[in-house]
Amino acid sequence: MQDRGFLATFLRRTGPAGPVRRAGFFTAALLFVTVLVVGLFYVRARMQMVEIGYEISSLENRNRDLKKRVNELMLEIASLESPGDLEKKASRMGLVFPPVGKVVHVP
């Protein structure tokens, strides 16, 4: 006896497929495909949620770093604009205050 394979043996044993048996098979196949498609959409949606979560976390870290940098720059601007600091830098460059009579005020 030749081995025709499992499917051929199964089909021969079950007899001819009637409309009821075909409808049951197609219903089961349709149900399987539907569950598969819904499952794939669910997995993809979850993956997108995780990716967005990582992106949000990364952007929050970047925002925190930029705020810290802004504060550092504001402190640097404040220290550079202080009159005492400007006077010290001017004296190092050789600049001096002019004598009292040499200053001319323009109207």
Cα–Cα distance for residue pair 66/63, rounded to 1 Å: 5
Check pLDDT > 80 for residue 91: yes
pLDDT value of position 9: 61
Cα–Cα distance for residue pair 90/4, rounded to 1 Å: 101
4-47 residue pLDDT tens: 566 566 555 555 555 556 778 888 899 999 999 999 999 999 99
Let me know: does 91 contact 97? Beta carbons within 8 Å.
no
73-82 residue pLDDT tens: 999 998 888 8
pLDDT value of position 21: 66
Q: Where are the domains of the chain?
A: 14-83
Let me know: does 106 contact 100? Beta carbons within 8 Å.
no
Alpha-helix residue ranges (DSSP H) falling in 82-102: 83-92
Q: What is the mean pLDDT of residues 53-59?
A: 97
